[in-house]
Amino acid sequence: MFIHMVLFEIKEREVAKYRKDSLMWAEYAKRAKGFISYSTFKRYDYKNQYVSVYRWDKKSRNDAFMRKFHDYLVNKSKAKVKALGYYDIKAIDNLS
């Protein structure tokens, strides 16, 4: 499994818009091959930080999605956010 995470700083007045934007991104991702799931998290002990987490079956599928939709979805998004970091992670062990 491949995980793509984006850490954002978002002012309180922008959070509702960010959450709506995030679900819009997830709806587009949901239609893409290899998409597994999407989640939004609020970071504890850090003011105004949120993480968007996308799970894919493999990195190449995430890359194809980003090439096709990234700029389009950035332009459609309403929230003013500051990206603090992008993280690409590969799962190596799982326990449910």
The reply to whether CATH 3.30.70.2740 applies to domain 2-90 is: no
Domain coordinates in residue numbering, the chain: 2-90
Indicate the pTM of the whole model.
0.89
List 7's β-bridge partners, or say none: 51, 85
Mean pLDDT in each 10-residue stretch from start to end of the chain (96 residues)?
96 96 96 96 96 96 96 97 96 85
> Could you say which DSSP state residue 69 is in?
H
Quick check: helix, strand or coil at residue 93? coil
84 Cβ contact partners less than 8 Å away, ≥ 6 residues apart: 7, 8, 9, 49
